Structure 1
Amino acid sequence: MRGVRRAARRAQRSDAEVGSSATGQPRRGGSLGALRGLRFWLAGPAHQAGAMASDGLEGEHPSVTLFRQYLRIRTVQPEPDYGAAVAFLEERARQLGLGCQKVEVAPGYVVTILTWPGTNPRLSSLILNSHTDVVPVFKEHWSHDPFEAFKDAEGYIYARGAQDMKCVSIQYLEAVRRLKAEGCHFPRTIHMIFVPDEEVGGHKGMELFVQRPEFRALKAGFALDEGLANPTDAFTVFYSERSPWWVRITSTGNPGHGSRFVEDTAAEKLHKVVSSILTFREKERQRLQSNPHLKAGAVTSVNLTKLEGGVAYNVVPATMSASFDFRVAPDVDLKAFEEQLQGWCQAAGDGVTFDFAQKWTEPRVTSTDDSDPWWAAFSGACKDMNLTLEPEIFPAATDSRYLRAVGVPALGFSPMNLTPVLLHDHDERLHEAVFLRGVDIYTRLLPALASVPALPSDG
């Protein structure tokens, strides 16, 4: 508790310097005004101490410099430089005095674990998860080199991974650095986990790691993982996510010459299935648009992503296929939904089948009830910082699904308010003031979560 009180006093001083409003941001008009207020805060003494960037930029906060260094590591799919990322993390562990464990879950795929031991090893641990890989880029559509980590005069940092999710990785590290520098100690052990392969499904990353003895040895009790930016004053927190189903519909029919009215063709039957699925899509879209209380994660989305078939203009193909990306809402009966898929195929005629390229069947929901100790600690710390939370279902998929599937409650949280959602987009960027505010937020969150009292699940 000594560490908790000390961290709280430090954060209260920081909040006083920021002059936060009910949303934890400066009292300025609108997003632009808030960012200008954050830049004023950055110029204050609390954020100038030792602020000499290693790349020679005077006045840059060292946390920002570290963030930009990490962004320059090219962990871009499909050939990410995982070795450079692991070396970077090993050096951070050495500098911070943290334990460092490397677990190779598949050849060339290493999970790196940085550990800050707690004072009570009998308690379950706090997991801070992030992934090291980033998605591909189309450089011709970027204003700046996506791996230069260019910072413009306004303070925006342009880089692939700026929002997804290298910002969170460095925020974890910098929050731990601050707390250790203040001499804080907490009952629960904190494990920072840096995993590969998330951007392509996590099949050679977290999916394998949660089945290994090294993961079980962590005694995970609760986890934080990635979220999304929020363009408003609020901060989004995700307590569940939709199940990704990647479905290929294959239709077979009579072949023939392109000049004839061939009966019972593969294309005709495939058209019926596609029409049924797109009709379902429109119903879900209208349901979302007609209810202002619904968010994207609460409905099932589907998109036609691939059409295949045919060998020549004048040949009616015997086989055609259509691929769909379904994101199934967590309250959907998955067995009934698969039966619906089967029904659409059967209604189209004989010779229409479907198979799965990916099928997630373990939708789990993390409690956001005030009686839940983990949620109470998380939301209570946010309330103390005057942060407005918007709990939602994540619309896509993250590694949290693997954690929840093995019984570890997880929240997706990337503290980026007043920020457009730009993950996977051209010119992905994050303002340095928003990034630094996120470090402050984690510096308040970690003491609260790592000090949750002993629970029955702790054994």
Structure 2
Amino acid sequence: MASLLGLVSLVTVSLVSVLVFRAAFLYKPLPAPKSCINMHNHDNISLSQDPQILKRFIGALNIPTISYKVHTYDAPEMTKFIEYIEKSYPAIHGSPLITREIVANYSLLYTVKGSDPKLRPYMLTSHIDVVPAVKELWDSNPFKAVIKDDGYIYARGTMDAKHLVMAIFEATEFMIKKGFKPRRTYYMAFGHDEEVLGLDGAQEIAKILKVRTKTYDKMEYVIDEGLVISETKFPGLPYNIGLIGVAEKGYLSVKVTATGAVGHGSMPPPMTAIAKLSTVLSRFHANVMPSFLGEGVEREMFEIFAAYASWPYKLIYSNFWFFKPIISYVMSNNPTLNALVRSTTAVTMVHGGTKENVLPDSAWAILNHRIHQAQSGKELMELDRQLINDDTITMELSSPINEPGPVSPYCDDCSGYQTIKHSLLQVFPDTVVVPSIFLAATDSKWYTNLTDSIYRFSAISVELEEMKCFHGHNERLSVKNYEKLINFYHHLIINSDEPILNYKSKQHDEL
């Protein structure tokens, strides 16, 4: 017995020693990026010095470029927006270096021609359409932008995603006015139907660019709308977290239908169609699917956290392999973090019955899934079948399956990721940057034929609670955030113009 206790003690001491050693010595903070003060073509873009910047943004927000459903959008307003952009940015539209194309009637594609055709081009992209808004549920008119005393601009599109469109235009206009002549060609692409799958806009843009860039093995990178800089602190980290989306989840909606006998409401059977459906739906909840923690990008995320965390969190984050079950449990109980580690299910629509005193002959509901990278749509549907476990309940696709996108590279040598990260840190210092998964869908799914380096990131700094404004009531963005967003693209364009994109910095050495 004594020898057994001795062995247990030795193993315990050895394990603790390994855990502490990894935490203390393997994960060190990275050096700050080089100062942008002496960067060629660099200058600070200030809204106070040029009030027209904010006026142009407000003008764009006031044009209701609404997408309603696939192939259905407010065409006259889309045309009005295109005309507004042309009038607002004379330097861009008058430059011999820049060509504009109107794709599929309402999408915009700009080519900013570089002087060195050997350099692979990159692309800045977003979308000009927005979702509808219920005016009665807003504190102000969603299509009459207003700046309130809290320093926020309130309007539909402030966060999704006209702020990106206009910031890209502002940064490019600013640089063209200063005489900027890029070495590296870049594209600015703005689809008009992203909110309804991008079938008309981004898909057509991708076809055009595939032909146009065929002399390159791939584009250098593409940056689209996506994750943000979180001001909501992670446990043990006193820094904001810059979340660069290196992949996006897949999309799957399943219609489930229960049937029942028709009759008078005074003589109900043990289970009506609605009751049967309700029983089935109760089996689905946010974290019912298996956790895939560690099979995505979460391990890398926590190891980066380890370099900046305080004790004892540093011990936990640097030993993900050991504390994985605990981390999984904690993340599964937070709606935002839970969505990072598994496929999620939301019951989004329910319908049943025809009259209050008539038994329903059927009832149906929609299960909306967002598919984790470690799963496929087919696997998820099979899990649905197992959970339902009732042959009388029918299942059918409510919309085509959009499988999870590939994971873009985010290594120390990955130029696109590192260039975005470097530019982010120049504008938002004291931020810890990590790869993550974008939980929604974007137009970038159409651009996988152009490059394997697609990043989904919106350079705004917000509390995670503010993310509810996406598609929500009282959508808003602070004036300060808009100014920093423009400066982010300004830095990104300058940094991306280097002949060799090399921001290599080793995070740690494995034990």
TM-score normalised over the length of structure 1: 0.78
Q: Shift of residue 159 of structure 1?
A: 1.2
Q: 1:116 aligns with which of 104, 112, 119?
A: 112
Measure the CA separation in 1 of the matches of 2:364 and 2:343.
22
Q: Shift of residue 328 of structure 1?
A: 1.5
Q: Does 1:412 align with 2:450?
A: no
Q: Does 1:373 align with 2:411?
A: no
Q: Shift of residue 292 of structure 1?
A: 11
Structure 1 partner of 2:490: 443
Q: 2:381 aligns with which of 333, 338, 358?
A: 338
Q: Shift of residue 323 of structure 1?
A: 0.8
Taking the TM superposition and a 5 Å limit, the aligned residue runs for 1:49-64 are 49=49, 51=50, 61-64=51-54
Structure 2 partner of 1:258: 265
Q: Shift of residue 430 of structure 1?
A: 1.6
- Counterpart of 2:353 in structure 1: which amino acid? G
Q: Does 1:271 align with 2:278?
A: yes
Kindly tell me the number of residue pairs found equivalent between the two proteins: 405
Structure 1 partner of 2:224: 225
Q: Shift of residue 353 of structure 1?
A: 2.6
Do the aligned partners of 2:152 and 2:479 also contact (CA within 8 Å) in 1?
Answer: yes
Q: Does 1:163 align with 2:163?
A: no
Q: Does 1:69 align with 2:96?
A: no
- Counterpart of 1:240 in structure 2: which amino acid? A
Structure 1 partner of 2:392: 350
Do the aligned partners of 2:126 and 2:165 also contact (CA within 8 Å) in 1?
Answer: yes
TM-score normalised over the length of structure 2: 0.71
Do the aligned partners of 1:157 and 1:430 also contact (CA within 8 Å) in 2?
Answer: yes
Root-mean-square deviation (Å): 3.2
Do the aligned partners of 2:257 and 2:394 also contact (CA within 8 Å) in 1?
Answer: yes
Do the aligned partners of 2:41 and 2:180 also contact (CA within 8 Å) in 1?
Answer: no
Instruction: Spell out, residue by residue over 1:8-53, the C-alpha distance to the aligned partner (whole angstroms, 9 max, x if none).
Output: 2564x64xxxxxxxxxxxxxxxxxxxxxxxxxxx9xxx6554x3xx
Taking the TM superposition and a 5 Å limit, the aligned residue runs for 1:16-95 are 48-49=48-49, 51=50, 61-78=51-68, 79-80=73-74, 81-92=77-88, 94-95=90-91
Q: 1:237 aligns with which of 227, 244, 266?
A: 244
Q: Shift of residue 67 of structure 1?
A: 1.1
Structure 2 partner of 1:426: 473
Flag structure 2 segments of 5+ consecutive residues without an equivalent. Answer: 1-34, 232-239, 292-327, 503-511
Structure 2 partner of 1:175: 171
Measure the CA separation in 1 of the matches of 2:473 and 2:287.
31
Taking the TM superposition and a 5 Å limit, the aligned residue runs for 1:97-116 are 97=95, 98-104=98-104, 109-116=105-112
Q: Shift of residue 230 of structure 1?
A: 4.0
Q: Shift of residue 122 of structure 1?
A: 4.0
- Counterpart of 1:248 in structure 2: which amino acid? K
- Counterpart of 2:453 in structure 1: which amino acid? P
Q: 2:124 aligns with which of 128, 137, 154?
A: 128
Q: Does 1:319 align with 2:362?
A: yes
Measure the CA separation in 2 of the matches of 1:279 and 1:9.
49
Do the aligned partners of 2:126 and 2:224 also contact (CA within 8 Å) in 1?
Answer: yes
Do the aligned partners of 2:61 and 2:156 also contact (CA within 8 Å) in 1?
Answer: yes
Do the aligned partners of 1:125 and 1:188 also contact (CA within 8 Å) in 2?
Answer: yes
Flag structure 1 segments of 5+ consecutive residues without an equivalent. Answer: 15-41, 52-60
Measure the CA separation in 1 of the matches of 2:396 and 2:120.
43
Q: Does 1:216 align with 2:214?
A: no
Measure the CA separation in 1 of the matches of 2:188 and 2:142.
26
Q: Which sits farther off after the overlay, 289-298 or 371-380?
A: 289-298
Q: Shift of residue 250 of structure 1?
A: 1.8
